[in-house]
Chain A
């Protein structure tokens, strides 16, 4: 029994870290490099989100599979929300060039929405996958 609990906890922590890295590190970093702008989420939020993702992952792996689906979907929805909060869908900066002060703003909400849409689709597929495994057992 203890072996299963430890295995589920390790799997849950890994799942939480993967979601955290994907939504809090990889995607914001891609945007940061592509748009040439620094994206630095507050350290407190970073730690909180890491904790929440790990907690959701551990709960998802530990509880009964049917309930675990809900927590896994929550991880994806939380990730999508994090993206919307961190990136905001708009980038604005000002540069001075040759005596001209330029304030530039670029809206990329559509791109964020596509990422959120794919995340939700992926979560739905994962739910069906787990449900089909449940039916087979």
Chain B
């Protein structure tokens, strides 16, 4: 009776671990293959909407097949939030002030949850280690 239970437990644990592990493996693999897997592309059109405010399109490109949830992207003073991010491009419209446009951001943070299971954070800084 117990040997059967042991086999069932081993099989169930391996299956569950494989299911839990797979999103992490695929996500890391996709990022290793393409470090620019998650990219923020600012639009070229800047529309003035008055009082030093401008409307800008920002496209977020994501290459992995693993869904990201609770995505927070912060670049300079601009914060973008997405409940989920799937493979492909998402374009969103944001309102920024003139000072935000003039000030070139040098660093940012991307926080998300890989398939809703593993918290992931990416701090990036332009200019490398200098």
A and B: real partners? yes
How many interface contacts (CB-CB < 8 Å) are there between A and B? Answer: 88
Establish whether residues B2 and A108, one from each chain, have CB atoms under 8 Å apart when the complex forms: no
Q: How large is the interface on A (under 10, 10 to 19, 20 to 34, 35 or more residues)?
A: 20 to 34
Q: Does B6 contact A (CB under 8 A)?
A: yes
Q: How large is the interface on B (under 10, 10 to 19, 20 to 34, 35 or more residues)?
A: 20 to 34
Per the 8 Å Cβ criterion, residues 84-133 of A in contact with B are 95-108, 110-111, 114-115, 118, 121-122, 125-126, 128-129, 132
Establish whether residues A101 and B16, one from each chain, have CB atoms under 8 Å apart when the complex forms: no
Contacts of A104 in B (CB 8 A): 31, 120-122
Per the 8 Å Cβ criterion, residues 1-34 of B in contact with A are 1-3, 5-6, 9-10, 13, 16-17, 20-21, 24-25, 28, 31-32
Q: Does B128 contact A (CB under 8 A)?
A: yes
Establish whether residues B119 and A102, one from each chain, have CB atoms under 8 Å apart when the complex forms: no
Q: B: which residues have CB within 8 A of A? A: 1-3, 5-6, 9-10, 13, 16-17, 20-21, 24-25, 28, 31-32, 35-36, 114, 117-129
